[in-house]
A and B are shown apart, each in its own frame.
Chain A
Amino acid sequence: MVVERTEGRKDGKMERRTVEVDERCDAPPVAVPPDPIGRVVATERLPASPHEFYFWTEVETPIGIGAIVRVEGRARTVYAVVVDAKAYSDLADPLHEVRVAAGVPGGHVAPTHRTEIRLWTAAVLRQVPQEPLQPVPLAEVFLASEQDVQVALRMESYVQVAEPTGIPIGLYATGGVSAPVYLDANFLLGPESAHLNISGVSGLATKTSAVEFLLKSVFTHFPDSKGRIAALCFNVKGPDLCFLDRPGDLTPEDLEMYARLDIEPTPFDNVHYFAPFKADGININTLRSHADLIGSVQPLVWGLREVLDYHEVLLNRDDLDAKAAAFIDFLIDRVVEKEFRDEWGTTHRVRTFSELERLFRAIFDGLEASGRGDTWRTHHIATIRKIRNRLLNISTRCKGLVTDDGASEDLPFGTFEDRSIYVIDVAGMDQLAQDLVFTRVVSKLREHLERRDLGVDHVIVFADELNKYAPGDGPDTYVRKMLLDISERGRYLGLVLFGAQQFRSQVHRRVVGNASTTMFGRMDMDELATPGYQILSQATKIKLATLPKGELMLRHPHFTQPVFLRFPRPPVMTGPAGVAAYPPATDVPFDEAVMRQLVSLDRRVSPNSVAEIIADRREDDVRRALLATRRARPDDVLAYFRTALGPRVSHAPTVSAAAGTTPLQSVEDPYAR
């Protein structure tokens, strides 16, 4: 009987070996060394070098492009990955085949198979000993064992150590050998290097799935000694990241892979969802709006202060000339959230867009009434009018995210939790609002990480569609600057970018270039024809263009060549499955929306009570009270909501045209009756 087992070698390493066990007696098993699968060949035209060599195999062989092999020389072991392959026979001229077959391809089968060759090109991953670096020995080639894979990829330096920093990323699987592949946390999440970039065609779910699986792996294996870690994901399209706390559909093969990689196949248990309101200011703008889930989505609402701090994102270059910038600076420094007394005796305390509008009105009215000309505090009235228009327009364009009036609702900067995910659903937002969210959130993360008061030491920011947010060409936007800043300086702070895009060639090269770890799913051939992929062999490109779901090519600082590997489906519900299981709720009238949101916070809340409380109340007041209740999450939701709403103010009856005055009728108007 032949069995496989792991055994120690003389050099202290472990090796998977095939051993023959004699079942008839208790004799110790006799080690059967694995058979070589090939032999290195070298000619003057195809020489073996220290970085590349050629070997031949039988026609039927378990290896393929991406397989890792081991060359056993007398005093040198070389690990390499197969990057190209050729097959040819001794046929001198294709016409000879035509001639013997009398021009009919199926007409004649030769009695002898021509001698043919499978000639493989392999790129060296590692040589042992490393020095002196020499050409690959012309020796036998073996399929890499699990232990070989670890050595070939230099993983033993961060996996087999006292304080391992390996993060499983998937399984290398070729020729019946499967081996876990680990990333080095120091190179994925800093401080040595950082960031991950993943490319692939849309529609195969590889990019999102890979990142979801990797986040699960990071949360499982990130060493405690390196601190606390969280992830912040921007959901930029559809329901992709809306169900990270729901279990996914995993096959037995997936479960086996999870077991090999020592990761629990369970969804994330600490996910916080944020989404802005829709334009109605009460329904949340997310596809995670099913009644069972909406309670876990917190609204993202920003006010004047949040917008003004990032006015550069929202105002274009033409708007922001020196005069406009000076006026905005004046507002920030002297007016907003301060007691400000104007020249006409009114004291302003500007905290909201509504209050800002009152200030602008007071300025325009005051200047007009006083006839003091067209300048107010050195700022020309035209500049003031322009800034007023632009700023107030923001609350219109970003309605739902930016509130005219009322308190803001923000991410819990300062109390980020270890191994938790914060998802911001920006899928339904206007581009301008998306830019604002990206910029402000990441800037706030950076500020807090610099001050070490975020609540965690490392934050992974996942952003898809990088070719949209950090394009290689086009105007220099604030979002792109921010992404560049993370890419180039984030690792020192613990701010790590996991970026994804369909076309890597269209993303700013400094953003992708700074990503130490790169993953590729199935790629478009046009994309592979761009200069960024010149280092890949044609065979590798073709493999990339035909990669099935669940496979990807990986580059990592420890790996001198790209490696192909498989990863399991993420342990969370996919977007389409989530939408099917939890269909998004349709928008409901204001009263019902309030009632549903309060019920989602506390099942004991009676719809009738809510209807009674909010009857005849201003919608803005109700929104403000609802926001306060959501933020506080009190034990007695209804009581808190009632208190936040405040007592009813009885209005004196007013005379209105509709109620008390009979319209005049003109007897001369024949159409009035």
Chain B
Amino acid sequence: MTSAVMGETMVEARRRLREALLEAGGVVGDGKSAAAASPPLQTPFGIAEPVEGREVTAVAVGAPLRESRDAAFADGIQRYIVEGRIGVTPIIRAYVGAAVLDRRDRGLLPAKHEAEEFIVAPLERLTDATVARLHETGLPVHDCGVAERQHPILDVQLAVQQIEQRRRRAEVSVVAAFRREFPDAWIVVDGSLRAYDEEARESRLLGVIKSHETQFLAGVDLETALTLPQAHRTTVFRRVGGREDTIHSWYLRLWDWVGQDILFGLVRVERQRGPQVLDEIEDVCSWLLAERSPMSTPDTRWDRLLYPIHEVENYLKARAGSWW
């Protein structure tokens, strides 16, 4: 079979498959290939229960807010390098940074920033002399713990967890610092509010989650959420489990996903529970819809990445410079 014939066959096969999907009531995707397999999900499922109504339904959101809302936006970054190994034990140098940019009159200005460079290693596997030598570098040295057996990859993953933890700590710290100065300000953070303790999750803190690794809904509810039309939200539900019980959440479709992947333009919003969640949900959704502009291109996540959050990332990258 020649390559041309093979090409025609593939196109024909694709056409037939897409027709079959449409006939079955489905939608066709963007046709992008997925050559690399996604890493295994750490926490694919969560538990939730409806707060607004008995089941999850789609609710149309009003027009995007026309006025710019003064608000602050927070995010963090992390970088690390395996600088070397003692035997098979990795010695990792890491950098984390977090910042808050304050938006006033449509302009973003840096308000808070924290950054830290440190060493992470499974200290138990190192001799005292080696640990002392690491301290002599002048960089803080943090322990990432050990797995039950030595593993060159698992040890690095443990270190990365430690780095992520320190990054989240920096994020919480800058948000707290900003909050002390501006108690009434709206603050939008990139990601879940889970890292913030209940006191920190006061009413005007919003978490915008663009990765949908953990799914809290199932069945029809899930389908309703993941097939939301543009400018629609789900009804509000509550995360269940430990300190997350007080977090209310809903999905919001920023951009039309038809012809794209199902998660295209879909964000999940978190807010500390309270009467204001439902009272202000229309206002908050209109506001977030307005944040589609400016687009945060050329970032590949532009359909879910709010421009101010994108700018916080850029700011942090600029502060980190060519750190390696």
Q: How far is the CA of A112 from the CA of B290 in the complex (A)?
A: 10
B32 part of interface (Cβ distance < 8 Å):
no
B103 part of interface (Cβ distance < 8 Å):
yes
B291 part of interface (Cβ distance < 8 Å):
yes
A112 touching B106 by the CB < 8 A rule? Answer: yes
Of B13-21, B36-44, B62-70, B83-91, the one with at least 4 CB within 8 A of chain A: B62-70
A111 touching B297 by the CB < 8 A rule? Answer: no
Which B residues from 106 to 128 make CB contacts under 8 A with A? 106-108
Q: Encode B267-311 as 1/0 by CB contact (under 8 A) with A.
A: 000000000000000000000001111110110000000011001
Count of inter-chain pairs, beta carbons less than 8 A: 53
Across the interface, B297 reaches (CB within 8 A) one of A96, A109, A110, A112, namely: A96
B314 part of interface (Cβ distance < 8 Å):
yes
Residues in B whose Cβ lies below 8 Å from that of A90: 314
Residues in B whose Cβ lies below 8 Å from that of A113: 106-108
Chain B: minimal CB distance from A138 (Å): 13
Chain A: minimal CB distance from B14 (Å): 27
Nearest A residue to B296 via CB reads A90
B298 touching A92 by the CB < 8 A rule? Answer: yes
Residues in A whose Cβ lies below 8 Å from that of B295: 92, 96, 99-100
Which A residues from 92 to 116 make CB contacts under 8 A with B? 92-93, 96-97, 99-101, 108-115
Which B residues from 100 to 153 make CB contacts under 8 A with A? 103, 106-108
Q: How far is the CA of A96 from the CA of B311 in the complex (A)?
A: 17
Across the interface, B292 reaches (CB within 8 A) one of A91, A97, A100, namely: A100
B66 touching A100 by the CB < 8 A rule? Answer: no
Residues in A whose Cβ lies below 8 Å from that of B107: 112-113
B66 touching A109 by the CB < 8 A rule? Answer: yes
Across the interface, B68 reaches (CB within 8 A) one of A99, A112, A114, A115, namely: A112
B293 touching A101 by the CB < 8 A rule? Answer: yes
Chain A: minimal CB distance from B188 (Å): 11
A111 touching B108 by the CB < 8 A rule? Answer: no
B108 touching A110 by the CB < 8 A rule? Answer: no
Nearest A residue to B108 via CB reads A112
Chain A: minimal CB distance from B297 (Å): 4
The bracket for how many chain B residues form the interface is: 20 to 34
Q: How far is the CA of A99 from the CA of B256 in the complex (A)?
A: 12
Q: How far is the CA of A112 from the CA of B64 in the complex (A)?
A: 14
Chain A: minimal CB distance from B50 (Å): 31
Q: How far is the CA of A92 from the CA of B108 in the complex (A)?
A: 19
- Of A96, A100, A109, A111, chain B has the most CB atoms within 10 Å of the CB of A111
A111 touching B69 by the CB < 8 A rule? Answer: yes
A110 touching B311 by the CB < 8 A rule? Answer: no
A112 touching B66 by the CB < 8 A rule? Answer: no
A111 touching B298 by the CB < 8 A rule? Answer: no
Residues in A whose Cβ lies below 8 Å from that of B106: 110-113
Q: How far is the CA of A92 from the CA of B103 in the complex (A)?
A: 22
Q: How far is the CA of A97 from the CA of B296 in the complex (A)?
A: 11
B311 touching A111 by the CB < 8 A rule? Answer: no
Across the interface, A91 reaches (CB within 8 A) one of B68, B294, B308, namely: B294
Nearest A residue to B295 via CB reads A96
Chain A: minimal CB distance from B310 (Å): 9
Chain A: minimal CB distance from B290 (Å): 5
Residues in B whose Cβ lies below 8 Å from that of A93: 297
Q: How far is the CA of A99 from the CA of B307 in the complex (A)?
A: 15
Given A92-B297, A92-B298, A96-B295, residue A111 in contact with residue B290 (CB < 8 A):
yes
Q: How far is the CA of A90 from the CA of B64 in the complex (A)?
A: 23
A111 touching B65 by the CB < 8 A rule? Answer: yes
Nearest B residue to A108 via CB reads B293
Q: How far is the CA of A101 from the CA of B295 in the complex (A)?
A: 11
B294 touching A100 by the CB < 8 A rule? Answer: yes
Nearest B residue to A113 via CB reads B106
Q: How far is the CA of A488 from the CA of B184 in the complex (A)?
A: 77
Given A115-B108, A115-B311, A115-B314, residue A110 in contact with residue B298 (CB < 8 A):
no
Chain B: minimal CB distance from A116 (Å): 11
Nearest B residue to A93 via CB reads B297
Q: How far is the CA of A90 from the CA of B107 in the complex (A)?
A: 14
Residues in A whose Cβ lies below 8 Å from that of B298: 92
Q: How far is the CA of A112 from the CA of B103 in the complex (A)?
A: 8
Residues in A whose Cβ lies below 8 Å from that of B64: 108
Nearest A residue to B106 via CB reads A113
Chain B: minimal CB distance from A431 (Å): 65
Q: How far is the CA of A113 from the CA of B106 in the complex (A)?
A: 5
Residues in B whose Cβ lies below 8 Å from that of A97: 294
Q: How far is the CA of A113 from the CA of B311 in the complex (A)?
A: 11
Chain B: minimal CB distance from A90 (Å): 8
Q: How far is the CA of A114 from the CA of B107 in the complex (A)?
A: 8
Chain B: minimal CB distance from A101 (Å): 7
Q: Encode A105-134 as 1/0 by CB contact (under 8 A) with B.
A: 000111111110000000000000000000
Which B residues from 49 to 68 make CB contacts under 8 A with A? 64-68
Nearest B residue to A100 via CB reads B293
Nearest A residue to B103 via CB reads A112
Residues in B whose Cβ lies below 8 Å from that of A109: 66, 68
Q: How far is the CA of A100 from the CA of B307 in the complex (A)?
A: 12
Residues in B whose Cβ lies below 8 Å from that of A91: 294, 297
Residues in A whose Cβ lies below 8 Å from that of B308: 112
- Of B103, B108, B297, chain A has the most CB atoms within 10 Å of the CB of B297
Q: How far is the CA of A112 from the CA of B65 in the complex (A)?
A: 12
Across the interface, A110 reaches (CB within 8 A) one of B69, B294, B314, namely: B294
Residues in B whose Cβ lies below 8 Å from that of A114: 294, 307
Nearest A residue to B287 via CB reads A111
Q: How far is the CA of A99 from the CA of B65 in the complex (A)?
A: 17
Chain A: minimal CB distance from B316 (Å): 14
Chain B: minimal CB distance from A318 (Å): 73
Chain A: minimal CB distance from B104 (Å): 11
Q: How far is the CA of A247 from the CA of B35 in the complex (A)?
A: 85
Q: How far is the CA of A115 from the CA of B318 in the complex (A)?
A: 13
Nearest B residue to A99 via CB reads B295
Residues in A whose Cβ lies below 8 Å from that of B65: 111
Chain A: minimal CB distance from B296 (Å): 9
Nearest B residue to A110 via CB reads B293
A111 touching B293 by the CB < 8 A rule? Answer: yes
Q: How far is the CA of A112 from the CA of B292 in the complex (A)?
A: 10
Nearest A residue to B292 via CB reads A100
Chain A: minimal CB distance from B313 (Å): 12
Residues in A whose Cβ lies below 8 Å from that of B66: 109
Residues in A whose Cβ lies below 8 Å from that of B307: 110, 112, 114
Residues in A whose Cβ lies below 8 Å from that of B103: 111-112
- Of A92, A97, A110, A112, chain B has the most CB atoms within 10 Å of the CB of A112
Q: How far is the CA of A108 from the CA of B293 in the complex (A)?
A: 9
- Of B290, B295, B298, B314, chain A has the most CB atoms within 10 Å of the CB of B295
Q: How far is the CA of A114 from the CA of B108 in the complex (A)?
A: 9
Residues in B whose Cβ lies below 8 Å from that of A101: 293
Q: How far is the CA of A93 from the CA of B294 in the complex (A)?
A: 11
Q: How far is the CA of A91 from the CA of B314 in the complex (A)?
A: 14
> Closest 10 A-B residue pairs measured CB to CB?
A111-B68, A100-B293, A92-B297, A92-B298, A110-B293, A96-B295, A113-B106, A110-B294, A114-B294, A111-B290
8 contacts between A and B (CB under 8 A): A91-B294, A91-B297, A100-B292, A111-B103, A111-B106, A112-B108, A112-B307, A112-B308
Residues of B within 8 A of A (CB): 64-69, 103, 106-108, 290-295, 297-298, 307-308, 311, 314
Residues of A within 8 A of B (CB): 90-93, 96-97, 99-101, 108-115
6 new A-B contacts, CB < 8 A, other than A92-B298, A100-B292, A113-B108, are A110-B106, A111-B65, A111-B69, A112-B308, A114-B307, A115-B311
